[in-house]
């Protein structure tokens, strides 16, 4: 009688272990649902592929879809122009943003407005989400976005393009699609204001950058170019505060004015 009872207990224990393994989180390559929503908090994801009705959807050149899940439970989304945001729920594998709001900046390209609207419609439809390895997959009724985690930007290397102009608390888009850029490397920054070009020396000290020896050409430019040029040169005047937030660089002078640039 004793031996059969031991065998029965062993069989029950084995069945229990198998059952626990079957439901344990993290056992598969994919995960979704409210319990896994914490895995998104504090992370930024950038699109690697976008499909619509089973076919690749081309994004406006130089743009991507960006989803930022904040630590306080909000979603901040960008598609190249305006910012969408709102409290987000990730329960039951559904992404729900019922109070999604948007900034109202004028976009230099009408296609950027359409892209903002497309993303807003997708996020507002309550798409499903799942983590597939290191990727986040957002799936709607006729569209899917695959996003990877964002690599942090570095000040040096590559080109920063002016994305918006800052005057105190006011932020405005770049007028006339003026393409002004900065490229930092080894203590020298190459400057293109959208019309004139030049360079300056710089030194980084904590959160401050000190620019010296700024030289640039002085061609006559159009009104949009002159507006961007003034904002950019003011941000390169002496010591300014700088901050890199993911792929955005903010340069702010002592008056609180400056520019924001993106890689």
How many distinct helices (H) and strands (E) make up the chain? 3, 19
30-149 belongs to which CATH class?
A: mainly beta
Question: What is the model's pLDDT at position 31?
Answer: 44
DSSP state of 154: -
Domains 30-149 and 160-262 share a fold: yes
Q: Exposure string (b/e) for 75-111, b if CB count within 10 Å is 16 or more?
A: bebbbbbbebbbebebeebebbbeebebeebebbeeb
Q: Where are the domains of the chain?
A: 30-149, 160-262
Question: What is the model's pLDDT at position 36?
Answer: 58
Query: Whole-angstrom Cα distance, residue 110 to residue 59?
Result: 13
Question: What is the model's pLDDT at position 15?
Answer: 46
Please return the burial class of 50, using the count of CB atoms within 10 Å of its CB with bins 0-12, 13-18 and 19+: buried
Question: What is the model's pLDDT at position 13?
Answer: 45
Q: What pLDDT digit, counting tens, does each position of 184-241 carry?
A: 999 999 999 999 999 999 999 999 999 999 999 999 999 999 999 999 999 999 999 9
Question: What is the model's pLDDT at position 216?
Answer: 96
| Segments of the chain with pLDDT less than 70 | 1-36, 151
Question: What is the model's pLDDT at position 72?
Answer: 92
Max CA separation in the chain (angstroms): 102
CB distance 128 to 95 below 8 Å: yes
Tell me the fold of 160-262: Lipocalin (2.40.128)
CA distances from 28 to 17, 131, 230 (A): 17, 10, 55
- 3 state SS of 24: coil
CA distances from 141 to 54, 84, 127, 241 (A): 11, 20, 7, 45
């Amino acid at each position: 009688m004793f031996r059969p009872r031991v065998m029965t207990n062993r069989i029950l224990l084995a069945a229990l272990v198998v059952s626990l393994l079957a439901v344990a989180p993290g056992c598969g390559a994919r995960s979704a649902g409210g319990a896994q929503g914490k895995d998104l908090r504090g992370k930024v994801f950038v699109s690697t592929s976008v499909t619509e009705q089973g076919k690749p959807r081309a994004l406006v050149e130089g743009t991507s879809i960006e989803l930022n899940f904040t630590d306080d439970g909000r979603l901040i989304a960008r598609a190249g122009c305006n910012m969408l945001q709102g409290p987000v729920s990730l329960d039951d594998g559904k992404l729900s943003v019922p109070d999604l709001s948007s900034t109202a900046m004028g976009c230099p390209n009408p296609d950027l407005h359409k892209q903002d609207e497309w993303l807003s419609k997708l996020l507002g439809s309550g798409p499903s989400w799942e983590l597939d390895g290191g990727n986040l997959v957002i799936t709607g009724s006729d569209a899917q976005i695959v996003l990877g985690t964002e690599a942090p930007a570095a000040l040096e290397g590559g080109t920063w393009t002016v994305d918006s102009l800052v005057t105190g608390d006011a932020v405005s888009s770049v007028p006339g699609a003026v393409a002004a850029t900065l490229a930092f490397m080894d203590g020298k920054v190459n400057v293109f204001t959208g019309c004139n070009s030049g360079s300056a020396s710089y030194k980084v000290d904590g959160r401050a950058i000190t620019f010296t020896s700024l030289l640039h050409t002085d061609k006559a430019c159009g009104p949009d170019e002159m507006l961007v040029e003034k904002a950019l040169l003011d941000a390169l005047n002496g010591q300014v505060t700088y901050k890199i937030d993911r792929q955005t660089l903010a340069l702010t002078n002592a008056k609180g004015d400056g520019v924001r640039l993106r890689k």
